[in-house]
């Protein structure tokens, strides 16, 4: 297995908290924990395995008025990056009650960009057990990463992470 980094944003909220929890749980893999605010394409290039953490803020993209400003800077870097030879997984924070029709959309947009740029996407998750109406993160009946809702079902986060980590350990 190659070296691994968790690139996450924004800082100081739910994504940050979950990224830290995930890093602790996979301590044995010695993950680097990198805020996207401080990251460049050179940083992405340094890792064979990348886990992205993102939240959906704004109706469907990060470049709207209330958009996710950290990702507004970093997403163009991701869109221009060649992920060939890299394994990539994504977790996405969202709110399945208030935004049932746009649940974790940004996770999907990010994951699709990685695949378009040659990355091998791992860690897809069945929507079973999630209650929502629609999501851009769904493709072929699967979520393109791990959805997490710290707003309305925080009690499920720990278990969801554990199951996902078991899956990633098979797929990395």
Residues forming the site for ligand FMN (CB under 6 A) = 10, 13-16, 55-59, 66, 93-95, 99, 102-105, 150-151
Identify the burial level of 113 via C-beta atoms within 10 angstroms of its C-beta, where 0-12 means exposed, 13-18 middle and 19 or more buried: middle
Rounded distance between C-alpha atoms, residue 94 and residue 107, angstroms: 9
Cβ proximity to ligand FMN: between 86 and 144 the closer is 144
Beta bridge partners of 146: 91
Shortest distance in whole angstroms from residue 172 CB to ligand FMN: 25
CB of 18 to ligand FMN, least distance (A): 8
From the CB of residue 77, how many other CB atoms can be counted at a distance below 10 Å? 15
Residue closer to ligand FMN, measured from CB, 81 or 99: 99
Minimum Å gap between C-beta 169 and ligand FMN is: 25
Q: Please, is 168 exposed, middle or buried when counting C-beta atoms within 10 Å of its C-beta (0-12, 13-18, 19+)?
A: buried
Q: Which is nearer to ligand FMN, 83 or 149 (CB)?
A: 149
């Amino acid at each position: 297995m190659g070296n691994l980094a968790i690139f996450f944003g924004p800082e100081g909220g739910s994504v940050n908290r979950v990224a830290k929890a995930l890093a602790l749980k996979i301590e044995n893999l010695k993950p680097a924990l990198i805020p996207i605010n401080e990251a460049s394409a050179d940083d992405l290039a340094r890792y064979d395995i990348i886990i992205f953490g993102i939240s959906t803020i704004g109706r469907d993209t990060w470049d709207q008025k209330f958009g996710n400003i950290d990702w507004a800077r970093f997403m163009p870097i991701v869109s221009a990056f060649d992920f060939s030879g890299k394994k990539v997984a994504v977790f996405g924070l969202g709110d399945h009650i208030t935004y049932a029709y746009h649940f974790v959309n940004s996770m999907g947009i990010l994951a699709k960009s990685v695949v378009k740029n040659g990355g091998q996407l791992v860690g897809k998750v069945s929507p079973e057990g999630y209650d929502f109406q629609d999501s851009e993160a769904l493709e072929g009946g699967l979520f393109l990463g791990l959805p997490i809702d710290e707003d309305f079902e925080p009690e499920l986060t720990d278990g969801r992470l554990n199951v996902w980590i078991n899956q990633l350990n098979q797929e990395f």
